[in-house]
Structures are given as C-alpha cells and as structure tokens.
Structure 1
Amino acid sequence: MKDCIFDNFQNSVDESLLRHRSILDIITKLQESEARVNRAVIKSITNCGCIKVEAKKQSTPDNIDDLDLDTLSASLDTHMQGNLCESCRDVLERELGNNLFYTTSLCNLLDLNLYDILLKEYDKINTLGKYNMR
C-alpha cells in the first residue's frame, strides 16, 4: 500500500512538471527549494521567534568510552529551543513539499524510483542503527 502512495506521488510529479523538464532546470530548482527551506527555518527564528537557537560547542561526557550510544546521543544538544508556531509550520511544510517535488522530479528524470531509494536508506539505517553515525 505504501509503495502505491510513493508511486502515485512520483507519477503525479512527472505528469505535472511541464516547464522545467531539463536536468539543469530541475537541479537549480531543487537547490533553490533547499535554500527556501533554510530561509523558512531562519525566519522562524529571526522574524517570528517561535524557535530559538543557542549554539555552543558540543560537550561530551568525560567518561565517553564507558557510555553506550543511547546515553551519548542524549547528551548532545540540538541547539534549538521552542516549537514552531502554526504559521511557521505551514510555511516549512510548503517549502519541504516543494523540495520533495523537485527531488522526485530529479528521480523521474534519472529513472530512479523514490520508494526504492527510501527502502534502501531505511534498510541501511536499520542495519547499522546508531552506528550509522550521521
């Protein structure tokens, strides 16, 4: 069932992409959409203020060799405080959707299946688990 959703989405993207069929157009639109996602996050911080960033050097516990990965992961900071307001959430969802559209367009042009890519990444994450270290 889930693969049908991905396939349907990928087919819909392929059918709706009319103006930007060139690989150059798609890559530049994908890059632009990535910048717009970044900009929406920054605007949530600088204009709205619903989220706040307090960045500093990540500190690791002194006994790092004795810690398991769950404990180590819990000790690392996201540098973010707060939650997105509804308005910022809507903007980010729209921008991430556009980014997904152009990612899917690139998959279509290169004859790649988005669902297969997702499954391979999912399998890699599950196989390596926390040892994936991204």
Structure 2
Amino acid sequence: MSDKIFDKFQNSVSQLLIKHKSILDVLTKQQESITRVNRAIIKAVTSCGCIEINASKQEISDEISIEHIQDILDNHLSGQLCDHCQDIIKQEMGNHLFYLAALCNLLDLNLSDIIEKEQKKIHTLGIYNMLR
C-alpha cells in the first residue's frame, strides 16, 4: 500500500472530524470503536456461528526453536466469516481506523510514518518480533 493512501485517508479524517474535535472525545470514541470491533467478532461466534473459538493452553516444548514456534501454535479459530459478519467487522475496523487517524491528527502524527516505522521494525526483527 502506498503512503499516499494513508495520507489521503488521514487528510479526509481531518476534514470530517467536526463533532468530536476534543482529544478526550477522540480517545473515548477510539476506545468505543475497538469495543465494537471486538463485539462484532464475538457476535460472529455467538449469534451467527460462522466461526468458533476453541481455546486452550498452548504447550511449547523447550526443544522447539523460535523459528518453528509459529508452526505449532493455534489461532483457536475454526470456520470462516460469512459475508454478513465479514461486512460488519470490516465496517467496524474502518470506524476504528477513522478514530486512529483522528488521534494522529490531533497529536500532529503521520499515520503513514507510524506504519512505515513499524514495518521496518518488523522487517528488521523478523521472527524475533514475536517476543514483544
């Protein structure tokens, strides 16, 4: 993805954020938006049933190298999001991105720079990024 996409998105958010201009409003709206993402995922499990969560303790042998840990760990999910649940989750994630960009705007931070820095860190650390 191009930096221009993130910059354009962040600029659009800046122009549209009228009602919730206070940092306090944006912080609470961002918290609410991630809660709505979580709720949409939970409803995909509990109301729709298109996905299931089957979680248990994950055992990692001391003999497994860090490079092979990903091969044995489970994401605890089974099934696949139906179109309806996928649409709702995408919408809620979009709302969350909106408030993340709004927070960046208020703090005079560039979302593209943040993503680029994180990408460089992930690329530099590679598999060792998992340890954080």
TM-score normalised to the size of structure 1? 0.94
Distance (whole Å) between structure 2 residues aligned to residue 35 and residue 73 of structure 1? 27
Partner of 2:129: 132
Aligned-partner SS, 1:57? coil
CA-to-partner distance for each residue in 1:67-96, whole Å, 9 max, x for gaps?
351x21110011110110000000000000
Aligned-partner SS, 2:52? strand
Spell out structure 1 runs of 4+ moving beyond 2 A.
Answer: 61-64
Partner of 1:59: 59
Q: Kindly state the Cα deviation for residue 62 of structure 1 after the two structures are TM-superposed.
A: 5.7
For structure 1, which runs of at least 5 residues remain unmatched after alignment? none
Find 1:123's aligned residue among 120, 125, 132.
120
Matches within 5 A, 1:73-92: 73-92=70-89
| Aligned-residue identity in percent | 56
Q: Kindly state the Cα deviation for residue 4 of structure 1 after the two structures are TM-superposed.
A: 1.4
Aligned-pair Cα RMSD in Å: 1.2
Partner of 1:12: 12
Aligned-partner SS, 1:81? strand
Distance (whole Å) between structure 2 residues aligned to residue 117 and residue 5 of structure 1? 14
Partner of 2:109: 112
For structure 2, which runs of at least 5 residues remain unmatched after alignment? none
The letter of the residue matching 1:14 is S
